[in-house]
Amino acid sequence: MKICLISPPFPFSGKVPMAPPILEYLGALTLKAMPDAEIELIDANLREPAPEDIKADFIGISSMTATITWSYKFSDKLRALGKKVVLGGIHPTALPDEAKQHADAVVVGEAESVWGDVLRDAKAGGLREFYYGERLPLDDIPLPIPLEGPYKFRAVFTSRGCPYRCSFCSVRRFFGDTIRCRPVDKVAEEIEKCAGRIYFNGDDNIWGGDMGRSIELFTELSRGSKKWWYGFGDLRAPQSPHGDELLKAAKKSGLFSVWAGWETSSGEGLKMYHADSKQGKDREEAVRKIKKYGIDVTLFVVLGSRYDTAADFENVIDLAKRLGVVIHPVLLTPLPGTELYEEYMPHLLKDRGWEFYTGASAVFEHPTMSPYEIEEKYYRTSLELLSTKRILMHLFEIPLSGFPMTHLLSLMKQIPMKRAMQKAYEKWKCERR
């Protein structure tokens, strides 16, 4: 059977320099379940395929909310040509009945437990409408298939699940609130064989689930080839009694940057989002402690909620300067399947489809600011944070203990982000005229 797996294009400007992990892992899972399959992996960020050029008998597309509009349209075109299509991912899991209108089958949840059934049913010509994946132990994940392309780095994952209950996040609903970890030796083997010199750890929290296991993993990684990596982490773990041991092991393993959810500077806002439990007692001290080990810090800050004001956008600039960090602002986006979506449903803008749910568009009514005002403030704030002056100043904010790689890799991250944001802003201005 000929099988094609597609990763949809992201709705922002600029090419993403990371190979889509879903293609590499799902491709490996496909060959594990059906070794004789002919498989094609397409990253639509590199080139958008024409539906008529896809010769496969069966097509799988994995989507999040920001990419689901493209996926629906492309799937409809494929099905009009007589192709069989299955949709999966976070958005189809949240809204399976909606997704089913555009697919022959929908995978709800994680694919490992059902993907073999999907392939066998597709080959036999008897697809079910829905396949409900179970959350299995992660002991037997096959090594990913390396995707060819002009990629600068790849992604790995070592665990799934998140115990925190942030109202705007869909991770817990998809992967569960119990953390499941892959065996340390399997992770180390994959990173050694497949990750390349620089890689991204796609875990929802690189160190906050089980600190003992994290230290064990980092220690094991430091024994292999020298590689550099970054990932998402909370600010609570570095404040623990084992925080110094954790950070020392992480740095030695090649961690050069951690991305942490600051979410909001308002204590009431943190409680409103149920995000206060992952911050610890003194998150500013946590940032300083991480930096002390030569690890760069990027903070995610959520802006534009119905309770935010214009001043909150301005305060982000001061926060970046005060803590000496990179800040990545995102507009609050109520994603389907989250508690926030239910809360904000009465205020959602009816004329804005899923393609606006990217973190860069206003998708709900605000009491005092128009969508145009909110989006303009978002772009202006983002570009000020990514100004050439700010990028260069940040190099002096990174401790010398991170020199030279942390400094060089900081530039490698921020300069492409600046270019992409500039393109996105110009596109936004043209569309809003």
Q: Tell me if residue 313 falls in helix, strand or coil.
A: helix
Q: Are 331 and 351 in contact (CB under 8 A)?
A: no
- Beta-strand runs (E) in 185-305: 198-201, 228-232, 255-263, 296-303
Per-residue pLDDT of the chain (433 residues; tens, 9 = 90+): 999 999 999 887 556 789 999 999 999 999 999 999 999 999 999 989 999 999 998 999 999 999 999 999 999 999 999 999 999 999 999 999 999 999 999 999 999 999 999 999 999 999 999 999 999 999 999 999 999 999 988 999 999 999 999 999 998 889 999 999 999 999 999 999 999 999 999 999 999 889 999 999 999 999 999 999 999 999 999 999 999 999 999 999 999 999 999 999 888 899 999 999 999 999 999 999 999 999 999 999 999 999 999 999 999 999 999 999 999 999 999 999 999 999 999 999 999 999 999 999 999 999 999 999 999 999 999 999 999 999 999 999 999 999 999 999 999 989 989 999 999 999 999 998 7
Nearest to 254 by CA among 326, 198, 183: 198
Using CA atoms in the order 156, 158, 163, 164, what is the torsion angle rounded to 10 degrees? -30
d(CA 230, CA 105): 35
The b-or-e profile of 257-296 (16+ CB within 10 A means b, else e) is: bbbbbbbbeeeebbebbbbbebbbeebeebbbbbbebbbb
Look up the pTM and report it: 0.95
The b-or-e profile of 191-201 (16+ CB within 10 A means b, else e) is: beebbeebbbb
Question: Which single residue is written with the structure tokens 């978002």?
Answer: 378
Q: Tell me if residue 330 falls in helix, strand or coil.
A: strand
What token pair was written down for 399?
Answer: 């401790």
Question: Residue 110: what pLDDT?
Answer: 97
Question: Which single residue is written with the structure tokens 């689901």?
Answer: 68
What token pair was written down for 161?
Answer: 């699940």
Q: Are 198 and 227 in contact (CB under 8 A)?
A: yes
- Which residues pair with residue 87 across a beta bridge? 61, 106
CATH superfamily of 156-432: tm_1862 like domain (3.80.30.20)
What token pair was written down for 138?
Answer: 């992660």
d(CA 297, CA 257): 6
Question: Which single residue is written with the structure tokens 């796609």?
Answer: 202
- Please confirm whether the linkage preceding 144 is cis (ω < 30° from 0): no
What token pair was written down for 358?
Answer: 């990217």
Q: Are 236 and 208 in contact (CB under 8 A)?
A: yes
Q: Which fold has domain 2-132?
A: Rossmann fold (3.40.50)
What token pair was written down for 293?
Answer: 């080990």
| Strand-pair category, 159-160 with 180-181 | antiparallel
What token pair was written down for 392?
Answer: 């260069």
Q: Are 26 and 133 in contact (CB under 8 A)?
A: no
How is residue 138 annotated by DSSP?
Answer: S
How is residue 348 annotated by DSSP?
Answer: B
In the chain, where the domains are located:
2-132, 156-432
d(CA 1, CA 22): 20
